[in-house]
Amino acid sequence: MKKALFSLILGLATTFSVIAQEAATYAQYQLFPVLYNPGVTGFSGNHEFIVNARKAQTSFPGTPISYTAMYHGSFGEKLGLGGAIFSEKIGDLNTTKIQGNYAFRFRLQKAQIGIGMTTEFINRRLNSDILSNPYVDGGDEVVEDMIGGQQIFDATAGVHVLYDEKVFVALALPNIVRTRIDQAPISAPVTVPNDRSNYFFHFGYIMNRPSQGFTLIPSLAIRNYRDVPFQFDLNLQGRFLEDKLIAAITMRPGTSGVAGFMIGSKFKGAQIVYSYDIAFGPFQQYHTGSHEITLAYSIKPKSKRPPAAPGDYQ
């Protein structure tokens, strides 16, 4: 029984580490698209600070917990810069990521366009305590290599388009450049997947009704990541009372899908958002769902700013 439980945890850790290699998992991407798409960096013209924490599959041992601290902002009329620190723990596997964001934005008639790139230094390491686990084979070169740590350079490209302040289209391409930069100490060949078929597509429409005091934002998100089932999300976001109430739902159809619920509030430049999601698959019976919370603070420049990004409509 213990061996089966350990194998299950190790398998989950491997699965989630694959996802983490490609892109961090965020339920609140529709409110904070800069978390996955560098094309949004500085897009609104504001300076924004974001702190995010996520606990997946709560109550089941060894499942992912992650933290992100990010800043991004506008410099001049066309340049966006930012950076982030990301930390994730999955069982005995620890991942740390340092990220830099760079974006260029411009206007073509009614379209505001942002094109950006993220460069990342990733460090992945297994806790050395894993060698004392009776279910781990001693002398395993792959395990020993991971205990020594892997250092990886990665890059993501992204584009974000806001047309007439009503329609937005975004595309992020993870792993356009990916290489291992440390000296692998094992004799077996070590490869770092560099799959250019990975993408994250997000499309939506902004129905702004200021006279009635609300904004509705339906959107569709499509993910295609290596070794992860194809996913698409149906989202509906609502903003009421000048963003004092923000609510959203997400449905991901299929046996590997999820249902997510989000609620938050914004007062002046400060924003807090909480989300909870549950899975459709059989593994849901072993845990109590996933929780995510984000704190953000936005500073508007004194000069006139360009149109807002999807998460910033005021």
CA distance readout (Å), 225 to 30, 170, 232, 292: 18, 16, 12, 22
- Give yes or no for residue 7 having a pLDDT over 60: no
Which positions ≥6 away from 311 have C-beta within 8 Å? 30, 31, 32, 33, 34
305 vs 228, residue with greater confidence: 228
Number of domains in the chain: 1
Averaged pLDDT, 289-314: 74
Amino acid type, 201: F
- Give yes or no for residue 203 having a pLDDT over 80: yes
- The token pair that represents 25 in the structure block: 């998992």
Q: Annotate 267-302 with DSSP letters as a single string.
A: ETTEEEEEEEEEESSGGGGGS--EEEEEEEEEE--S
Lowest mean pLDDT among 14-28, 102-116, 264-278: 14-28
Averaged pLDDT, 268-293: 86
**187 — pLDDT class (breaks 50, 70, 90):** very low
305 in a structural domain: no
313 vs 290, residue with greater confidence: 290
How many of the other CB atoms lie within 10 Å of CB of 81? 16
312 in a structural domain: no
- Residue 310 is predicted with a pLDDT of 58
**129 — pLDDT class (breaks 50, 70, 90):** confident
201 vs 227, residue with greater confidence: 201
| CATH label of the domain that carries residue 182 | 2.40.160.40
Averaged pLDDT, 235-258: 89
Question: Could you tell me what percent of the chain has a pLDDT over 70?
Answer: 78
Domain residue limits at 96: 2-299
308 in a structural domain: no
60 vs 153, residue with greater confidence: 153
- Give yes or no for residue 1 having a pLDDT over 70: no
- Give yes or no for residue 128 having a pLDDT over 60: yes
- Residue 218 is predicted with a pLDDT of 97
225 in a structural domain: yes
**147 — pLDDT class (breaks 50, 70, 90):** confident
Strand pairing of 79-90 and 65-75? antiparallel
